[in-house]
Amino acid sequence: MITEFVVTSGEQPKRLDVFLVNRERDISRSALQRLIEMGRIRLNDQVVRASQKIKPGDRITMDVPKPEPLSIRGEAIALDVLFEDESLLVLNKPSGIVAHPAPGNWTGTLVNALLHHFQTSGGTISTIGGKERPGLVHRLDKETSGIMVITKTDLAHRALAAQFKLHTITRIYEALVWGVPKKGRGLIELAIGRDIKDRKKFSARTSSPKQSATEYVVTRRYGKVAAHVLLYPRTGRTHQLRVHLTSLGHPILGDRTYGGQRVCAIDEITIPRVMLHARTLGFLHPRTGMMEQFTRSVPTDMETVMSELERETVPGENRSKK
């Protein structure tokens, strides 16, 4: 895969390999040095050494071969199946499971579980997503729990993908956020894309912004330290809800990536993971044309945090945020 980018203004001169290892977190420094030696990473169209100093305005081209597993096998991982027919499967994904295989997570993923499920049940799975993402028409982050739909045929995949693209899918999320939004409801409109300095994050600081919008409603205030909100995404960008709530000044509890260490505990309450749950998913069934909608309440870990916040928070008390 070939990518190209320009070193931004304000960047201090440093070795090419040092600059890249801070930018490409998924590739080790030794691997980057080998790619530079092979000429797969070029500076201003020139083959250079790893020790070459970069400066603002330099153009870096990277031709990084995509690592692939030898094979993806089914694994006997339990699935919470809510609905299944010959076209699709709807499940309630627990937090802690990655949606599909990728570097660092070739096993133990939702796809591994799905392959085993269909191998043992005799069902099919759509192939449009390729060998790494069969059946996946959308996904949830590793720490996000909630409802997902899996397509079993290519026809169903195309039909649901079109609904996601047109934003006609009904999606409602629940989240616990740090602090309390001033407005009880609102619309967050912020164009986001991959962050220019940290490729693992998404933000408004990007070279390829994509319009995105999220409605929110505050449904419960825990003093001044936290709040429970319902989220209605109008678009489906990567990390959209997490980035939008952070832009509002209220990152999701447990979201170390966007909120830092401060959002991982409130007083004596430890937050075990990103407190985000895909509560409701609704769509037109690709074969019958009927509206299907599925809702599941938050899992035990999130329910426990909510109960602890309820017990620890006294209405009207002026508590400080950590």
Spatial contact of 254 and 222, defined as CB atoms under 8 Å apart: no
Tokens of 261: 């260490």
Q: Which residues of 107-131 are buried (b: 16+ CB within 10 A; e: fewer)?
A: eebbbbbbbbbbeeeeeebbebbee
Residue of 17, 80, 141, 154 marked catalytic: 141
SS3 (DSSP) at 164? helix
Query: CA Rg, the chain, in Å?
Result: 22
Residue pair 32/19 in contact (Cβ under 8 Å)? The answer is: no
Strand, coil or helix: 18: helix
* Integer CA distances (angstroms), 274 to 151, 163, 178, 242, 278, in order: 27, 27, 11, 9, 12
Amino acid 206 reads T
- Tokens 């339990």 appear where? 78
Residue 193 to residue 267: CA distance in whole angstroms: 34
227: amino acid identity, one letter: A
- Tell me the C-alpha distance between 209 and 192, whole Å: 5
Question: Does residue 80 have an active-site annotation?
Answer: no
Q: Which residues are catalytic?
A: 141
